[in-house]
Amino acid sequence: MTNLEKYEKVFCEVFEISKDKLENLKFQDIPAWDSVGHMSLVTALENEFDIMMDADDIINLSSFKKGQEILRNTYSIDL
């Protein structure tokens, strides 16, 4: 499984949505992505990629695309 597939899987599992809804997904676009869902997402990403996100990155994780950018640029994860 590629890192992108792992990343997509985390979003799909945490928010219980299908892959086709990911591309333009943003914080609070769906009821599941509230503050509690956000922390569940962060925890799942940290576990999946064996990283510890800093507070600024957690706050800035505002969309599916922004998360890719953060993981790529800050944590050197090729997505």
| Cα distance from N-terminal residue to C-terminal residue, the chain | 11
Interatomic CA distance for residues 15 and 55, integer angstroms = 21
Instruction: Give the 3-state secondary structure of residue 26.
Output: strand
Beta bridge partners of 26: 63
Q: What is the residue type of 17?
A: I
CATH number of 3-75: 1.10.1200.10
Residue 14 corresponds to which amino acid?
V
Taking only the tens place, the pLDDT of each residue in 45-75 is 999 999 999 999 999 999 999 999 999 999 9
- pTM passes above 0.85: yes
Query: 55, 71, 62: which is closest to 7 by C-alpha?
Result: 71
- Computed over every residue of the chain, the mean pLDDT equals 98
